[in-house]
Amino acid sequence: MSETITYQVPGMTCDHCKRAVSGELGAVFGVDAVDVDLDTKLVTVTGESLDDEVLRAAIEEAGYEAS
């Protein structure tokens, strides 16, 4: 069953930020889709068996902090 988790990532400001976060999250097992909205600073992750800790670590690996 597919699930969705949304994170606030206030440090994102440009397309580079968007690509970095999308790339790291897209590589996580179980992630089917990543939507990054720079205007609202929201990152929405959709997939199966999503692990909050792993997703937050991927965002940190991209150089940002999720809240």
CATH code: domain of residue 17: 3.30.70.100
| 21 touches 55 (CB < 8 A) | no
What is the pTM for the complete model shown?
Answer: 0.94
Give residue-wise pLDDT tens across range 6-30: 999 999 999 999 999 999 999 999 9
Give how many domains the chain has, as a whole number.
Answer: 1
Range of the domain at 33: 3-61
Residue 37: inside a domain, yes or no?
A: yes
Beta bridge partners of 34: 45
Q: Is residue 67 part of a domain?
A: no
Q: Does residue 66 sit within a domain?
A: no
Chain-centroid distance of CA 5 in Å reads: 9
* Residue closest to 43 by CA, chosen among 16, 1, 14, 12: 12
Confidence class for position 38, pLDDT limits 50, 70, 90: very high
